[in-house]
Amino acid sequence: MHKFITLYSDVIDRVLVESKKNNVLVRFDFSEQTKICDELYGSSGYFESESKCLSIAIDEKFTAEEILETFIHESCHMDQWSGDKFLWDMCQTGYDYFLKWLEKKVELQPHEINECIQNIIRLEQDCEQRSCTKIAKWNLPLNYDDYSKKSASYILSYYEMGKRRQWLRGSQKIEVYSKAPLINNIDLTKGVPVLLQQMFDEHLYAPTIINN
């Protein structure tokens, strides 16, 4: 059994109470990646409102704390969906189009791509703020500043994906996220800070497709 399950059973129970209230299925996928059926790339976790499923990849390549971060993040997407349907629905459309555009299933105009990214950032920023609040309120053993910077690095990497038209990984490397601002300090009018952009140029990469 992965240490995440034994170490954080109380956190899992708390999220399960919420998921039951919302009729959401929580699924642990014992694999390096979990993915929604027609998705090209898997991820370490997702929450999907259509199928009402919160799924987390659990594998020895992740530490218990890394899985906990993903679990908290995705649980906050569930909180958004159950608590703020307007924001969820508005931003989700942007997300769907952007992902389809990345996979070259649709074409979008530059201003539409930008609008999608702004919607994604709005949704992820709200999610990460909820996550940071949950970490503090539940007294979770995660470094608040590190988590906040990792989140900001991930959110801002969407600008780069928009530029390269590719799904990109690497925003969670310490060399990269250490140059990111705290989540509350992201300035959407200014885009990616210069030092972080240098790290994006050096470290972000397009993953190979893993079919699992």
The nearer residue to Zn ion, 3 or 95, going by C-beta atoms, is 95
Residue 64, burial from CB neighbour count under 10 angstroms (0-12, 13-18, 19+): middle
| Least distance between Zn ion and beta carbon 77 (Å) | 6
Residue 141, burial from CB neighbour count under 10 angstroms (0-12, 13-18, 19+): exposed
The nearer residue to Zn ion, 1 or 177, going by C-beta atoms, is 177
Interhelix angle 85-102/144-164, nearest 10 degrees? 50
In one-letter notation, the amino acid at residue 197 is Q
Residue closest to 149 by CA, chosen among 197, 171, 181:
181
| Least distance between Zn ion and beta carbon 74 (Å) | 7
| Least distance between Zn ion and beta carbon 139 (Å) | 23
Q: How many residues bind Zn ion (CB under 5 A)?
A: 1
The nearer residue to Zn ion, 121 or 199, going by C-beta atoms, is 121
Residues 75-134 that bind Zn ion (CB under 5 A): 124
The nearer residue to Zn ion, 79 or 124, going by C-beta atoms, is 124
| Least distance between Zn ion and beta carbon 177 (Å) | 15
DSSP-H helix ranges across the chain:
3-7, 9-21, 64-83, 85-102, 110-137, 144-164, 174-177, 194-203
| Least distance between Zn ion and beta carbon 163 (Å) | 20
The nearer residue to Zn ion, 50 or 201, going by C-beta atoms, is 50
Residue 194, phi then psi, degrees to nearest 5: -55, -50
The nearer residue to Zn ion, 69 or 124, going by C-beta atoms, is 124
Let me know: does 103 contact 40? Beta carbons within 8 Å.
yes
Lookup: tokens for 47: 């929450």
| Least distance between Zn ion and beta carbon 122 (Å) | 12
Query: Interface with Zn ion by CB under 5 A: which residues?
Result: 124
